[in-house]
Amino acid sequence: MHRLAVLCWFRLPVLLLLALKLPAAGAQEEYSRFEVSGQFSVIRLLDSSSNAQSHFGFGGRLDINLTRRLAFESQVDFFPPPASPFLQSQGGRALQALFGIRGKVLQSKHFAVYGLLRPGLIHFEKVRAFSPTPPSFFTIRPATYFLINLGGGIEFYPSPRLIARFEISGNPYRIPNFTQHVASGFVSAPGQITDHFGISVGVGYRLGALHENARETPVSGKLEFGPQFTAMVIQREGALDGVRTEPGIGGFVSYEVFRFFYADSAVNFFPRDTNSSGVHDGGRIFEGLFGLKSGIRRDRIGVFGKVRPGFNSYSRALTAIQQTSAGPPPLFKNLFDRSTNFVLDLGGVVEIYPTGRTTLRFDLGDTHVYFATKSFVSPNGTATSVPSGQRLHTMVFSVGYAWRFPGPPR
């Protein structure tokens, strides 16, 4: 499931970029303020053997078109097939509600290519949880989690009022840290950020009066840079931290390379220390991202998708436990060092241009963290290789302010 989701994340920006090069058949001539749609949806959850399994559902959505390219969109889907119950993560029938932005990157008379940035909630009917009363260790209860819907799609216009739509998305969601009081005390479990992959096919209808699209004005400026604030919901490796929100500060730079392609980079520093450290993760985080964003800037709004490889550098990862005294009791101390791991930032960007030389930027994304193989030395002096391969999801929201400049002449 994870490989399929990552593959689709990569294919979608490629499809968007190829579509941007196609000759437009004339801009879509009309739009309405409101659209209603129904859709058939599929999400991938785990079965009892922890393999990915398709769950089919149905739902509806409402769009309020703010401009010809940007819409506020709400969507609700119900998935009747029950999912296998897992501890704190899923189980039973699912209900998903999304509220956010849909932005058209490419728009012609007969079709449009768009991106989705939609926070929301997912509700599971029967999630496995720790039981507060003996003799049972576990119980079944409902649970609701925060998620973000990131993806895109294509819509076609067979008539001025009808819309046919196909979209794919990734949906990371946050399972919080859990503590349950029981008869003998309490039990706890660290949270996590997990995800499910989704596909949706639907038909929509434009309500009310149809408005003729006004001519668009390109936005000038090749280079932009400025500060940003970032909130990162991340699963820390240390046993005492679990899932938590890390506030950070940094800056970003974006430069137009060719038409709809922009070199896009950011650096962020997250100053809060950890309560405990793992072999890969601990302490404060310094992050660097260097990649591409692709999209379009028209009038006072820009809509982009982004793919940015980079690194997370952790200041205090656990490297060894050293015995300092034979005791009794024996005394030990922890040894730490910096740990740097590969990350891949995937998501979308919406920019607003208050003036001819300033940018207000909003990012929403899922940053994948890939832990590398590390060495750990036990108290008896034995070195153990802790393998790589684990991939963690990170839900990221950033807001920044930038200054735009024309850039050097071609």
364 CB neighbour count, 10 Å cutoff = 22
Contact 372, 391 (CB under 8 A): no
Please give the structure tokens belonging to residue 376. 């750990």
Enumerate residue ranges in the chain where pLDDT < 70.
1-29, 134-135, 180-185, 388-389, 407-410
Dist CA 309 CA 266 (whole Å) = 11
**Under CATH, what is the fold of the domain 217-410?**
Porin (2.40.160)
Please give the backbone phi and psi of residue 19, each rounded to the nearest 5 degrees, phi first.
-65, -35
Q: Do domains 24-215 and 217-410 have the same CATH topology?
A: yes
Task: Classify residue 360 as exposed, middle or buried by CB count within 10 Å of its CB (0-12, 13-18, 19+).
Answer: middle
CA angle 319, 321, 326 (to 5 degrees): 160
CA distances from 150 to 120, 154, 215 (A): 11, 14, 29
Q: Match 């660097």 to its residue by tokens.
A: 288
Dist CA 32 CA 351 (whole Å) = 23
Q: Which of 321, 396, 403 is nearest to 148 (CA)?
A: 396
Beta bridge mates, 360: 352, 401
First and final C-alpha spacing in the chain: 44
Number of H helices, E strands in the chain: 1, 21
CB-hemisphere CA count at 13 Å for 387? 2
Please give the structure tokens belonging to residue 55. 């769950």
Q: What is the pLDDT of residue 407?
A: 63
Task: Classify residue 219 as exposed, middle or buried by CB count within 10 Å of its CB (0-12, 13-18, 19+).
Answer: middle
Structural Rg of the chain based on CA atoms: 24
Dist CA 118 CA 16 (whole Å) = 19
Q: Where are the beta strands (DSSP E) in 138-240?
A: 138-156, 162-175, 178-182, 185-189, 192-212, 223-235
Q: How many residues does the chain have?
A: 410
Q: What is the pLDDT of residue 5?
A: 44
Q: List all residues 6 or more positions away from 36 whose beta carbon is below 8 Å from its beta carbon.
A: 60, 61, 62, 63, 204, 205, 207
Q: What is the pLDDT of residue 4?
A: 44
Please tell me the class of the 24-215 domain. Answer: mainly beta
The pTM assigned to this predicted structure is 0.86
Dist CA 44 CA 2 (whole Å) = 10
The residues spanned by each domain of the chain are 24-215, 217-410
Q: Match 């929301």 to its residue by tokens.
A: 120
| Pairing verdict, β 90-107 and 70-86 | antiparallel
pLDDT in tens, 200-258: 999 999 998 887 777 888 888 899 999 999 999 998 888 788 899 999 999 999 999 98
**Enclosing H/E stretch for 5:** helix 2-20
Q: Where are the beta strands (DSSP E) in 50-156?
A: 52-65, 70-86, 90-107, 111-130, 138-156
Q: What is the pLDDT of residue 395?
A: 95
Give 10-13's long-range contacts (Cβ < 8 A, gap of 24+). 10/307, 12/151, 12/152, 12/168, 12/305, 13/292, 13/294, 13/305, 13/307
